[in-house]
Structure 1
Amino acid sequence: MKLFAQQAALENDKRLSDKATTKGFDNTLSDGLFSLLDKGKVLPSRKMSSIKNEYAVTPNRSGNDDRHTETANRSKAVLQSEHRRFVAEGTVEFSAIKTDHQEHMGVNQNILFGNVLTNEGGGYHPNLGVFIAPQSGVYVFSSSIMTSVNVEQYAAIAVNGNLVAQIYGHSDNGRHDQGSQTVVIKLNAGDEVAVQSTQSNGDVWGNQFSSFSGCLVWLQ
């Protein structure tokens, strides 16, 4: 009886030990599963936090470089400033057509272009046939001269009386001829530009076949 009691006690202890071990295993397994589940919940949160941090560091996600935008804005501001400067100083341009014939002109006599089409800035004086620069800068001038019938005509665009570009026309056989020039020159305020006959007894045809034009291209 004593031996039987000892064996029964040993079996009972063994069952309790196995149960404790199984329970411990179950607990360990459960803890691991719960840990994994918890990690599954935590991991997306960590990813979202990382993405938020990335957006915080680089807020421009559209593919545009803020430095390029800044450079473009600066260039635009410079152009606007130059445009305002040009407008503030005022536009200078003129165009005049010759309607009357001008005969028997002397050397260095101004050719007159009486029909003024435009004269912004008031620099052209049709009664004198001269343009007086109201502002310093780079200008472009163009002139076209038609000769009378059977006439050889020498003329020139002149600045302050100095020839810059010569114009020539030679007509014969009862016909007219026409010559022209275009120049880009730098002028100071007050400089005078005119189209002049460079020969004696000059003869220039009018009737809107001869012209003189100019404009300010850039301020200095």
Structure 2
Amino acid sequence: MLSVMEHRKVEMKQEFSKQNQQIGQILDDYKKIREELNEKTAQLEKLAGNFTSTPKIAFNAYTRSGKNYGNSQTIVFPDVLLNEGGGYDKITGMFTAPVAGLYYFSVHICQAKAKYVVAAIVHGHTTIAVTSEYESIGASCSSVMAPVKMTLGERVYVKCTHPSVMLADAQYRWPSFTGVLFSI
């Protein structure tokens, strides 16, 4: 009986050793597969980052010249501080979306003493935000902001929605039009 048990002991040791080798091989294979998956995941994240990063599109334009505007006349801001992405045209006053996405625009206007100024942010042919200013005693300013979902090539601009007198000067009042791509 003792010899049978000794024989069984040897067989069990051999079987355990064989199973330990198999488990070791499985663990080695798992580690190799895990390393390959981590490497592929890093490559995919890098590729995804290239496709999903938001391009840098922003502009900031202003004017130092006051002017009388008629109803529906576009306000042009010819002095450009920033035009990243090239979407703003300082001749026409139009911003044309170089990529589709969610944009954020703001307009700052100033009125001359006892004169109205009314300006709107216009997307295509749709007014999306309006601001107005009037002071009987002196000059003052007003601002308005709006987000806009745009497709490639659509335009946003500022126009007067009422005959207006906009005040601007080189020192204290710079009416401005600003926009930035928020996300794609």
Q: Distance in 1 between matches of 2:7 and 2:159?
A: 98
Show CA shifts across 1:101-120 (max 9, x none). Answer: 32211112222222312213
Q: Which structure 2 segments of 5+ residues have no match?
A: none
Match of 2:176 among 211, 214, 218: 211
| Distance in 1 (alpha carbons) for counterparts of 2:51 and 2:181 | 15
CA contact (8 A) 2:67 2:166 kept: yes
Alignment of 1:27-42 (within 5 A): 32-42=1-11
Q: CA RMSD in A?
A: 3.6
Distance 2:67 2:42 in 1: 58
Q: Percent identity?
A: 20
Match for 1:183: what amino acid?
Answer: P
Verify: 1:145 aligned to 2:108, yes or no.
yes
**Distance change >3 Å, CA 45–CA 168, structure 1 → 2:** farther
1:9-39: CA deviation from partner (whole Å, max 9, x where unpaired): xxxxxxxxxxxxxxxxxxxxxxx54554454
Q: Tell me how far apart the structure 1 counterparts of residues 20 and 114 of structure 2 sit (CA, whole Å).
A: 89
Residues 1-220 of structure 1 aligned to structure 2 (within 5 Å) = 32-57=1-26, 59-60=29-30, 76=45, 79-80=48-49, 82-83=51-52, 91-96=56-61, 98-135=62-99, 137-148=100-111, 149-189=113-153, 191-205=154-168, 207=172, 209-217=174-182
Secondary structure at the aligned position of 1:205 is classed as coil
Paired residue total = 178
TM-score, normalised with respect to structure 1: 0.62
Q: CA deviation at 1:210?
A: 2.8
Q: TM-score, normalised by structure 2?
A: 0.72
